[in-house]
Amino acid sequence: MIPLNTNLDDLSQQLKKHSGWFVAIGAILIILGFLALSYQFVATVFSVYFIGILLLVAGIAQAAHSFKLKGYGQTALWAVMGVLYIIAGIISFTQPVAVSAAFTLIISFLLVVSGITQIINAMNNKGFPKWGWWLFSGIITLVLGLMIMLGWPANSLWVLGMFLGIDLIFQGWAYVAVGLAIKSTKD
């Protein structure tokens, strides 16, 4: 941990000293990303299980917290919400393929809405420099959402794993690039 009162030269030296860690973490993320892309079904199920764990933990915490809210008149509501999270977590473990189908459909809707929003924003801001990139990004996002939607539910077995793999690879390259850039800075 770098102290808050560190000046920029000290911070630069600290980062430079640990730049190898950025590169190493990046390399690990890239390898994991390629593994996820190679085994997209396994990565999809892993993603569903991970979300299931998050839902279980959140549900248990919410249900436990509800009993500490006596006197607010909403104890039962908080408890029910916690139980629903727990049920959703359990379903993630017992029906991972069905949950991946639901997640894939939700993601496709989100991509379509995001793409349309980006396109509208780009068209409304034509005066911005390079606004065409914003428009291009919106079109790509919209097309991706529609492609996923049209391939649903068959593509539900690999879409989440593919997204995870691509994300890990891009994060890994970002870590490597930052690590190498820090390492190459002059003192």
pLDDT digits (tens, 9 = 90+) for 65-107: 888 776 666 778 888 999 999 999 999 999 999 999 999 999 9
Q: What is the mean pLDDT of residues 37-45?
A: 93
pLDDT for position 42 = 93
pLDDT band at 156 (very low <50, low <70, confident <90, very high): very high
For the chain, report the end-to-end CA distance as a whole number of angstroms.
Answer: 21
From 10-19, 49-58, 66-75, 139-148, the region with the lowest mean pLDDT: 66-75
Report yes or no: 111 and 141 within 8 Å, Cβ to Cβ.
Answer: yes
Name 109's Cβ contacts closer than 8 Å, sequence gap at least 6.
Answer: 145, 149
pTM: predicted TM-score of the whole model, two decimal places = 0.71
Q: Above 60 in pLDDT, residue 33?
A: yes
Q: Above 90 in pLDDT, residue 178?
A: no
Rounded-to-integer distance, Cα 67 and Cα 76, Å: 9
Burial level of 67, CB count in 10 A (0-12/13-18/19+)? exposed
More confident residue, 57 or 129: 57
Q: Whose CA is closest to 57, among 89, 81, 79?
A: 89
Tell me: the pLDDT tens digits for 7-20?
A: 667 767 777 888 88
Beta carbons within 10 angstroms of residue 168's beta carbon: 21
pLDDT for position 73 = 64
Rounded-to-integer distance, Cα 84 and Cα 182, Å: 46
pLDDT band at 120 (very low <50, low <70, confident <90, very high): very high
pLDDT for position 8 = 66
DSSP 155: G
Report yes or no: 30 and 176 within 8 Å, Cβ to Cβ.
Answer: yes
Report yes or no: 164 and 36 within 8 Å, Cβ to Cβ.
Answer: yes
